[in-house]
Amino acid sequence: MFNDGGILEKVKNGQATMRVVKDAHPSPPLADEPECTKSQLLAYYDLTGQKLAEAHQYVRPDGTIGASGKPDPKEVLHEGIVHLLDRP
């Protein structure tokens, strides 16, 4: 739903905005990322301020995105329904 909704493309084209909600260092053994990698929670909004999605990403010291290289969606608004990732 995150990809099909084109959320990253909307941000790129100025049709939506992205804000960093949380910015912290991950636990290195659990994240398996280089030291000083940041763990970020991102929120995406349409131009009216409606939240479209939340995602998580690891930003390495060199600026690249860790893991898959893309934000990992955790919450998506689709057709008026908020879909959440089932977390253990």
pLDDT digits (tens, 9 = 90+) for 11-25: 999 999 999 999 998
Cα(38)–Cα(22) distance, integer angstroms: 10
pLDDT of 47 > 90? The answer is yes
Residue 31's pLDDT band, with cuts at 50, 70 and 90, is confident
Mean pLDDT calculated for residue range 71-84: 91
Residue 76 has pLDDT above 70, yes or no: yes
- The pTM (predicted TM-score) of the whole model is 0.87
- pLDDT averaged over the chain? 91
Q: Do the beta carbons of residue 45 and residue 17 sit within 8 Å?
A: yes
Distances (CA, A) of 17 to 20, 30, 32, 54, 55: 10, 30, 29, 12, 13
Q: How far apart are CA 33 and CA 11, in angstroms?
A: 26
| Residues above pLDDT 70, as percent of the chain | 94
Confidence of residue 26 (pLDDT cuts 50, 70, 90): confident
